[in-house]
Amino acid sequence: MEINLNNSQIKGLSGLFFDIAKGLLLGSIGISTFTPLKIITILLGSLSAFGCVFASLYLLGRIENND
């Protein structure tokens, strides 16, 4: 299902995904200080953040095609 967004909505949603990625990275580093599974926690947080950054960059790529 295609959802049509204007450029400002795409930029806002992209910024939201970047903020979520920052929170995931910082949160996984913070949680890893308390959990015994430090490496797994950081890896899962990093993979989740990578997914958010990928979605954000995909949205920013749609801005060029949307004009």
Contact at 8 Å (CB) between 24 and 52?
Answer: yes
**pTM as predicted:** 0.76
In this model, does residue 67 exceed pLDDT 80? no
Supply the DSSP string of 13-44, one letter for each residue: HHHHHHHHHHHHHHHHHHHHTTSS-HHHHHHH
- The 10s digit of each residue's pLDDT in 2-52 is 777 788 888 898 999 999 999 988 988 888 888 788 888 888 888 999 999
Q: What is the pLDDT of residue 65?
A: 58
Q: What is the pLDDT of residue 20?
A: 92
Q: What is the pLDDT of residue 19?
A: 92
Alpha carbons within 13 A on the beta-carbon side of 42: 9
Scanning the structure block, which residue is given the tokens 């580093």?
29
